Structure 1
Amino acid sequence: MRTDRTQFHDAVLAVTLGVACVALFLVPAPGDARAPDALGAVLVALGWAPVAVRRRWPLSALCAGLVPSLALVVMGYGYGPGGVAVLALLYSVSAHRGLAVALLGLLLMVLAAVVASLAGPQAAASGHLMVVVLSAAVWSGGRAVRLRRAYLGELEDRAARLERAREADTRAAKAEERSRIARELHDVIAHHVSVMTVQAAAARKVLSADPELAGEALSAIEQTGRKAMAEMRELVGVLRAGSPAELGPQPGMSALPALVERMREAGLSTRLSVEGEPGPVPAGIDLAAYRLVQEGLTNSLRHAGAGVHAEVTVRHEPRELDVAVIDDGRAAATAGERPGHGLVGIRERVALYGGILSIGPRPGGGFEVRAKFPLKDGR
């Protein structure tokens, strides 16, 4: 559609200027040039005809326009209006084609001027020199327009590439954020629901024999449910605008004693051991270590069987944080089934901070989840 429109405009330009130049040519002018006649008018019109295709075939149009324009000079009519058409065609070659083709067009123009000076009637050398100078000026203007057009096109392409890159980064950031929130929701829900399931099973077993103990278990289920709802509300608050009051700090290793205590209340014998001198830990690693312990204890509670004992070990070293959850549950033969979706999220968390994660059965029985996080520059 755009090509058809430009061709139409060029055709209108060729007809309009051709008619105007023919009319101007037919007006007698004082001088030594040959008097205007029908042949000269036809040559002028033929010189403007190629302008109709100046953008589609610029070099061919220039060659076609040089023939009648050169004939006008050789036959004694002089450059006159016919020379203007050739300059317009030279501009088109320079502005719409590469440097090699543009230089060829300029060379053809200069050669035509040389032929006109040699084959045409005797005329002042300044006239032919003026044609060469005008040709060089028109050619330079066309190249400047082409270079500017190419520069603006490159700027537009670069802006488009940057926009696509920004959109891709935005999509990646959204996907990463959805993945992070999904991990957080899984860790919160899986942990609390597992604890509630174990407590509900214990309450069902002692409901008839010891109603008071069953009531304590149900009370623990209620507290755990409230805790789960509170944490979920904090996470959902991240997705809502204008609800900062519902947001709270993310848990970290400072919350491990409370986590261990909750697991004891749920029936998992758990011991926490902290070695080394605690120091400042990046917030991301702090949260990842807490979630690792939470997921490890949840899996021990859910899969390791009755009477299991779990031990949480946090070892602070100058350039490394070592976190491990070890239990003495069911034998390694069945341990291969134990890791769940939560441990997949743990792998992502540990990998995000360049840590090393090991998950699997222990040689002497039980199961181990261990991660080593690098701490840069001694924290």
Structure 2
Amino acid sequence: MRTSDVWLTPAFVAGAVAVTVLAPADPPYRGLDAVGLSLAVGSTLCLFPRRVAPMWVVVATSLLVVVNAAAGYSTTVTQWPAWISLFTLFSLRGTGARVVGAAVMVAAVGGYFAVDRAPVGPTDVFGVAVCFLLAMVAGDAARSRRAAALAEHARVRAEERTELARELHDSIGHAVNVMVMQAGVGRRVFVDDPTFAREALGNIESVGRDALGELDRLVRVMHTDRPTTDLSALVDRVRAAGRELRLTTEEIQVGATVAQALHRIVQEALTNALRHTDSGRIDVELAQVDDTVVLEVVNEGRQLRVGRPGRGLANMRERARSVGGEVEAGPVAAGFRVRATLPAQVRS
């Protein structure tokens, strides 16, 4: 039950009492008495459960219209709860319930015309028909607007879940791949170079803690945390895994959304380089030309490992497209290159 309904019903009751008292009916209708006032108030009280039981409210208010007319009273008050109940039914229920509700209302109108004390003229029929159509059309429009709002809400939630999944894949996936590389290197040199193996274990612990912190940050403040274009942490992780990495960067000026996309593209490109090759230098170049940021990540590794296809390249392209840029990826003479071209600011 909505709060608005709790307040709306007493307001209707007060209005019904006021109209009944201040606007007494003219002949041939009966004057104000306790029975007429009870029928007016009773019809408005029927609206209280209109959202939880709209069909029964249509039946009750329609019946009271006929009873009110048969008792000799004017329908000045009792007709409006019936139209409101029909509007509510059309705004909340499907085709089957609508057909039944409209049929009930048609029967009530027929009964009203049959027992009403005043003669029924074309103006009366036209007025009833207009109210009938307005109640149905307005109710259907309200239902369509609510359905569109729910669909939009579902779309936004789906986009949020997709974005969170992408963030988790990019950040946590990168950390896990670095840990796997370090564990593999440490295992191979455990006997011959125990000092390096201990350093690898320490790096695994550090990267794991960072990954947990990143996970916590994403869950809590994903949409409020300000992104950064500082790539030093990513570079340190890759070098700690035993890979040579050369970083060439220029001063760039980008918006927060572009910085986030740029950071994740670099992260994913480095993750793919660690996942698919064991050795070789990785070159990362970042520059800005006017209003365009250009990123190139070239993996010179030769010992390519082919595993189950992931979403790395697709995620990079989606991130670039989300800010109006693009990503090109494929083999080159020096190995495998990822080239991203992004606008410095998201264009509205």
| Same fold, judged at TM 0.5 (above) | yes
> Could you say which structure has the greater relative contact order, defined with CA pairs below 8 angstroms and 6 or more residues apart?
2
Gap runs ≥5 in structure 1: 18-51, 66-81, 98-145, 240-246
- Tell me the number of residue pairs that the alignment of Structure 1 and Structure 2 aligns: 261
Question: How does 1:86-101 map onto structure 2 within 5 Å?
Answer: 86=119, 88-97=120-129
Deviation at 1:185, TM superposition (A): 1.2
Q: Aligned in 2, Cα 1:54/1:161: closer, same or farther, shift over 3 Å?
A: closer
Counterpart position of 1:237: 220
Q: Which residue of structure 1 lines up, in the alignment, with residue 260 of structure 2?
A: 287
The alignment status of 1:177 with 2:169, answered yes or no, reads: no
Distance 2:62 2:136 in 1: 22
Q: Tell me the TM-score normalized by structure 2.
A: 0.63
Alignment RMSD = 3.7
Residues 253 and 344 of structure 2 are in contact (CA less than 8 Å); yes or no, is this contact kept in structure 1? no
Partner of 1:370: 339
Does structure 1 conserve the Cα–Cα contact (< 8 Å) formed by 2:183 and 2:201? Answer: yes
Question: Do the aligned partners of residues 183 and 378 (structure 1) sit closer, same or farther apart at CA in structure 2, a change above 3 Å counting?
Answer: closer
Return the alpha-carbon distance in structure 2 between the equivalents of residues 229 and 251 of structure 1: 18
Residue correspondence of structure 1 range 349-360 to structure 2 within 5 A: 349-360=319-330
More helix per residue: 1 or 2? Answer: 1
The secondary structure found in structure 1 opposite 2:109 is coil
Show the counterpart of 1:330. Answer: 302
Cα distance change, pair 12–167 in 1 and its aligned pair in 2 (3 A): closer
Cα deviation per residue 1:86-132 (whole Å; 9 max; x = unaligned)?
3x3534421233xxxxxxxxxxxxxxxxxxxxxxxxxxxxxxxxxxx
The Cα shift of 1:295 comes to 0.8
Q: 1:260 aligned to 2:232? A: no
Match of residue 311, structure 1, among 250, 275, 283: 283
Tell me, yes or no, if structure 1 residue 163 matches structure 2 residue 136.
no
SS in 2 for 1:252: coil
Distance of aligned partners of 1:320 and 1:96 in 2 relative to their CA distance in 1, 3 Å threshold: same
Q: 2:196 & 2:67 partners in 1: Cα distance?
A: 99
Is the alpha carbon distance of 1:339 and 1:368 closer, same or farther for their aligned partners in structure 2, counting shifts above 3 Å?
A: farther
For 1:368, the aligned partner's letter is: R
**2:318 maps to which of 348, 352, 365:** 348
- 1:287-331 deviation digits (Å, cap 9, x = unpaired): 11111111111111111232x111111120112111121111237
C-alpha contact (below 8 Å) 2:282/2:299 kept by paired residues: yes
Q: 1:171 to 1:4 in 2, by over 3 A?
A: closer
Alpha-carbon spacing, 1:14–1:315, altered in 2? closer, same or farther (3 Å): closer
Q: Secondary structure at the match of 1:55?
A: helix
Question: C-alpha distance in 2, partners of 1:55/1:195?
Answer: 76
Q: Aligned-pair distance for 1:366?
A: 1.3
Equivalent runs, 1:94-173 vs 2, <5 Å: 94-97=126-129, 146=130, 155-173=138-156
1:290–1:14: structure 2 CA closer, same or farther, 3 Å change rule?
Answer: closer
Structure 2: distance between partners of 1:230 and 1:158: 48
CA distance in 2, matches of 1:189, 1:15: 75
Q: TM-score, normalised by structure 1?
A: 0.59
Report if the CA contact (8 A) 2:227-2:257 is conserved: no
In structure 1, give the amino acid aligned to 2:150. E
Q: Identity across aligned pairs (percent)?
A: 35
- Structure 1 residue 296 corresponds to structure 2 residue 328: no
The runs of 5 or more residues in structure 2 that have no matched partner are 1-54, 73-105
